[in-house]
């Protein structure tokens, strides 16, 4: 597993594209595992800072309980569909998988009325895989690029 900074150091251009795809919209989707092993999909926000990918869970939220029980997750960046006739302009999409390590409590501060917002917990991603899916320059082939700690950066094109 690797922290985000290791990916930036190993593949700076790829990491910059992944980050740009994630930063293109505020809301992402995370998949966690329920107690019975079935998947749970939740909306989430995340942040790339100081060499880490972090995200949180509000106190009492099921995704936080899921991550404490089984830390595996899959995180999908914002999704934008290719515009018909302008497929060459589609930036693609990015996904990150790994395990979540608890990183402490978070308190959101109120808007000056003296009350704090919801409390939660922060997690840091230990990354096992990063994937970017897009189209080739001619928009005729699907291009899948992926990075893993053991395999480095790889890619395949297919119809």
Does residue 78 contact residue 97 with C-beta atoms inside 8 Å? no
pLDDT over threshold 90, residue 70: yes
End-to-end CA distance of the chain: 31
For the chain, give every domain's residue range: 4-158
> What pLDDT shows up at residue 103?
92
Global pTM value: 0.89
Question: pLDDT tens-digit profile of 4-51?
Answer: 999 999 999 999 999 999 999 999 999 999 999 999 999 999 999 999
Of the candidates 107, 115, 123, the residue with the CA atom closest to the CA atom of residue 57: 123
For the ranges 13-27, 66-80, 116-130, which has the lowest average pLDDT?
A: 116-130
Segment 112-128 shows an average pLDDT of: 80
> What pLDDT shows up at residue 3?
96
Using left for φ > 0, alpha for ψ between -120 and 50, and beta otherwise, residue 51 falls in: left
Question: pLDDT tens-digit profile of 87-118?
Answer: 888 999 999 999 999 998 887 665 555 556 66
> What pLDDT shows up at residue 98?
98
Does residue 63 contact residue 72 with C-beta atoms inside 8 Å? no
CA max distance for the chain? 58
Of the candidates 7, 1, 6, the residue with the CA atom closest to the CA atom of residue 145: 7
Q: Given 2.30.110.10, 3.30.565.10, 3.40.50.1580, 2.40.50.100, which CATH number is that of 4-158?
A: 2.30.110.10
For the ranges 64-68, 89-93, 106-110, 127-131, which has the lowest average pLDDT?
A: 106-110
């Amino acid at each position: 597993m690797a922290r985000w900074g290791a990916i930036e150091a190993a593949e700076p251009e790829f990491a910059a594209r992944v980050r740009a795809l994630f930063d293109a919209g505020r809301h992402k989707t995370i998949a966690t595992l329920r107690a019975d092993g079935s998947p749970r999909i939740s909306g989430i926000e995340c942040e790339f800072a100081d060499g880490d990918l972090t995200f949180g869970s509000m106190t009492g939220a099921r995704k936080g309980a899921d991550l404490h029980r089984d830390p595996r997750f899959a995180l999908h960046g914002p999704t934008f569909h290719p515009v018909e006739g302008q497929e060459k302009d589609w930036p693609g999409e990015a996904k990150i998988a790994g395990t979540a390590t608890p990183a402490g409590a978070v308190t959101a501060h109120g808007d000056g009325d003296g009350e704090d917002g919801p409390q939660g917990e922060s997690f840091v991603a230990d990354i096992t895989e990063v994937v970017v899916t897009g189209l080739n320059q001619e928009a005729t082939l699907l291009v899948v690029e992926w990075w893993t700690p053991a395999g480095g950066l790889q890619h395949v094109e297919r119809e």
